[in-house]
Amino acid sequence: MPRSRINPFNAVLGLVGFLFTITASSYCLFVLRGIRPESATAAVPHALEQLMDDYGTSLLVGQLVVLAIATVGAVAVDHADGLRIRRERQLSAVDSKVDQP
């Protein structure tokens, strides 16, 4: 029985999805701190907050693009693998019918 291959895009989706979650959470916290300036002026900005201020939107957009490309790649690989498995099953069914007396 044919087995499906490992899809390399799934690892990319897991890693970038995790990073996107962390980035989106950090960006939300940055925005919330910006809404309440009285609490933000008392504290020195954290390095992550400065990073989100400078590159937060670019990071989120870049990660979304990578997620979109990896999603399309994962679906394409799974689709091609499914077609290959179906074709191998059909060929083995035809071969088993030919071998029978």
Q: Is residue 3 part of a domain?
A: no
The boundaries of the domain holding residue 91 are 8-99
Q: What is the pLDDT of residue 92?
A: 82
Looking at the structure of the chain, the number of domains it has is 1
Residue appearing with tokens 């290959």: 84
Decide: residue 52, CB within 10 A, 0-12 exposed, 13-18 middle, 19+ buried. buried
Tens-binned pLDDT, residue by residue, of the chain (101 aa):
567 788 999 999 999 999 999 999 999 988 888 787 665 566 677 888 889 989 999 999 999 999 999 999 999 999 999 999 899 888 887 777 666 65
Q: Is residue 1 part of a domain?
A: no
Q: What is the pLDDT of residue 42?
A: 65
Q: Is residue 32 part of a domain?
A: yes
**What's the CA gap between 97 and 4, in Å, rounded?**
24
User: Which ranges of 1-101 would DSSP assign to H, the alpha helix?
Assistant: 8-35, 37-40, 47-99
Q: What is the pLDDT of residue 81?
A: 92
